[in-house]
Structure 1
Amino acid sequence: MQIRSMFAANYRSLKSIRMDMGSVNLFIGENGVGKSNLYRALQLVQAAVRGRLAYEIAREGGMASALWSGTRRSGDPVRVKLEVELLDEERAATFFYRIECGLRPPLMAGFVFEPQIKEEELSVDAGRRPAVMMKRKGPLIQVRNETGRMNDYPEQALTSDTAIGLLGDAGHYPEVGTLRRVIDGWRFFHGFRTDRDSPLRSPCLAVTAPMLDEDGSNLAAVFATLRHTRGDTVDLDRAIGDAFGGARLVIPEPMEFAEFSLVFPDFPKRQFSPRELSDGQMRFLALAGALLSYRRPRFIALNEPETSLHPDMLPALAAMIATASTDSQIWIVTHSEALASEIEARCGTRRKRVIRTDGATWIEGMRLTGMMDDEE
């Protein structure tokens, strides 16, 4: 199930932006134009399906910090609005999910800057016309039952609850459950710790790891799963060899813990442990775990993956992104023109340049509909 389009309004620098999405989505721009806010909006959609939207916005400083601070039309509701459209090719169906949250009314209960969920809706279009499966306004939730009728859900939602989180936990609503499982599986890799105490540098418990955790703490288990469960590290070996001048990854069969090391051509009898590797080398290995794991996420977001990497590693990184794009939808935010060019050459995509227009984040050459000027 791929994201076909996204919409965000009144969130930080995103005044109102709708954008079509492809298999590989490549964004480049200067600091401060709002590149990270674009994919942070998708992170908030994921937080909503997990029932943690209010918490995630509170972590940013609350609604006072999250809301668009530019000019608004008088009388418009002061709300963050997020929408995603996902295409399920197997079921020939399109899922539409929308959520709006805002501030507490002056005379209502609740914390002053706590996000309050105002509206939510999930609809599914299976070829005739969209059918609303769930609708929420304030604390009241309506959901379509197995007979096709919209009924009131017996439990009222708290202002910080999301309806999709409550209904997903109930387990009786297959469309809600399907969308929730898909979005919950998205992965956002927006920086790996590479200091000496980083989890990347330590052995991890020997538990089968089909995909990398967002903090990279199960990296050694991801490598061990590829080598000893799948029995296929061809892409991984090629990427490491290309990035590190012919280096070889050593992955012993795990006992209580999983671990790995590198052997370089100049020192063929010496195994270098993760604690001996540079920050750039560890970051590349983490990206390899994210992009080449046994079971890749349906959506992978990478924020400035070129950070700390030697320029010679960028072609190998772009090649890994191209490999991952055969199974996953990829979102890359980068400052590097060189990396963008490598990705364009391997993936056949076009970079989107993020700019500021009247204080709002926008994509150069994009129409209001979300389509680029050079697209048919």
Structure 2
Amino acid sequence: MLQTLAISNYRSIRDLVIGLAPLNVVTGPNGSGKSSLYRALRLLADTARGRLVESLAREGGLQSTFWAGPEKTGATVRSGRHAVEGTLRRDSHHLRLGFGADDFGYTIDLGYPMPDATSAFMLDPEIKREVIWSGPFCRRASMLIDRRGPSLRVVNSDGNWEIIPGALAGFESMMTAFADPRSAPEMIRLRDKILSWRFYDHFRTDAEAPCRRRQVGTHTPVLSHEGADLGAALQTIREIGNSRELDAAIEDAFPGTRVEIEYEDGWFETTMRQHGLLRPLKAAELSDGTLRYLLLTAALLTPRPPELMVLNEPETSLHPDLVPALGRLIAAAAQRSQVIVVSHNAVLVEALTEASARLAALEKDFGETRVVGLKRIELPPWHWPER
């Protein structure tokens, strides 16, 4: 389980360290930084998929993701006696992301590349440092793999540092550029952990959404991010997952209703049989909210639970009466996976908090995202490795 999430110099997040539990809910008003925290988690996942630089480019490049405020905000500025003014930057530009878990921790530090008049990729971020360590937070004695610029070293079986021959490109994470199960088994285990993370963010439920149409179906223990394979995912839960739990989740939200999957010649279609109707309703006939609840049910009742599941505003399009049922469904999923929910829906936040979720309520303080009421002494232990 992840114990700590740390983000530094990313959009409105200047320096944020929060502790995590099996079930977590991040909330706050619009513009408080919820989306920045969610995207930072996705960037961490992209390091193991080799898509970190591409993802940052889609966000406008590294320069557009840096904290836009001043390095320091004095008491006179906070009191309103002086305006916020830029000063000469003393520290290097860093974008730092990291986490600490029960077994291993990881951090990555990105910055600008060295000037090179011959390169057309000067806006690409350069990875300055990556570190993997044992335990929830980084200490010199707990480091296992250390990447500084192009060079990489690992702790060998004798407990000594060993330099790995070759040079890493500045745009390549060591997670994808180096994979040796003999000299660095911890990297393989950590990469597999990150690759298992799942993110679900605003399923399509419009009239042309793929989940409304028949789809060719195969065993689908993991619902795709866009939810196109909904029918196959629900049928997989029926056959190799917990069919009783699926029926209970539907009954909780829609009393007297049952989900059925029609299949013919390999084509699957989701239908709902409701009390009082002579025929089941096809997915194309269901409301956006009903379809979204089915998608969330398929995601949360997966027969192959991930180590971490992150849901971004799952209550979107749901009728208020469905939100408590969704909260119970999420709480049940947290018994199998660590779950982080980003939401500003008060009913869902309350339902998850009552289910023992750890609450992180975000707010803006002079443009900087902070956790409401979190004192420095309450922060989990964390240390950023120096460049």
Q: TM-score with structure 2 length normalisation?
A: 0.88
1:111-130 correspondence runs (5 A): 111-125=121-135, 130=141
Contact 1:124 1:130 in 2 (8 A): no
Contact 2:223 2:229 in 1 (8 A): yes
| Partner residue in 1 for 2:340 | 331
Q: Secondary structure at the match of 1:301?
A: strand
Query: Which amino acid is the alignment partner of residue 350 of structure 2?
Result: S
Displacement of 1:44 in angstroms is 1.0
Offset from partner CA, 1:335-376 (integer Å, 9 cap, x none): 21111122222x12353221001211111011235549xxxx
1:201-216 correspondence runs (5 A): 201-216=212-227
| Partner residue in 2 for 1:196 | 207
Query: Which amino acid is the alignment partner of residue 342 of structure 1?
Result: A
Change in Cα spacing, 1:145 to 1:292, as seen in structure 2 (3 Å) is same
Query: Which amino acid is the alignment partner of residue 13 of structure 1?
Result: S
Change in Cα spacing, 1:126 to 1:330, as seen in structure 2 (3 Å) is closer
The answer to whether residue 296 in structure 2 is matched with residue 287 in structure 1 is yes
Partner Cα distance (1:144, 1:178) in 2:
15
> Which residue of 256, 270, 275 maps to 2:266?
256
> Which residue of 95, 100, 103 maps to 1:85?
100
Displacement of 1:43 in angstroms is 1.1
Provide the identity percentage. 34
Change in Cα spacing, 1:274 to 1:126, as seen in structure 2 (3 Å) is closer
- Which stretch shifts more, 201-210 or 359-368? 201-210
Partner Cα distance (2:218, 2:144) in 1:
38
Q: Give RMSD over aligned pairs.
A: 2.2
Contact 2:127 2:173 in 1 (8 A): yes
The answer to whether residue 164 in structure 2 is matched with residue 153 in structure 1 is yes
Contact 1:223 1:289 in 2 (8 A): yes
Partner Cα distance (1:110, 1:367) in 2:
45
Displacement of 1:254 in angstroms is 6.7
Q: Secondary structure at the match of 1:260?
A: strand
Displacement of 1:140 in angstroms is 1.2
> Which residue of 233, 237, 244 maps to 2:247?
237
Offset from partner CA, 1:200-233 (integer Å, 9 cap, x none): 2223332212122222122211111111233x31
| Partner residue in 1 for 2:81 | none
| Partner residue in 2 for 1:354 | 362
| Partner residue in 1 for 2:75 | none
Q: Secondary structure at the match of 2:121?
A: coil
Q: TM-score with structure 1 length normalisation?
A: 0.90
Displacement of 1:20 in angstroms is 0.5
| Partner residue in 1 for 2:385 | none
Contact 1:102 1:116 in 2 (8 A): yes
The answer to whether residue 231 in structure 2 is matched with residue 220 in structure 1 is yes
> Which residue of 175, 180, 195 maps to 2:191?
180
Partner Cα distance (1:5, 1:239) in 2:
31
- Which stretch shifts more, 29-38 or 145-154? 145-154
Displacement of 1:38 in angstroms is 1.1
Partner Cα distance (2:377, 2:309) in 1:
24
| Partner residue in 2 for 1:75 | 90
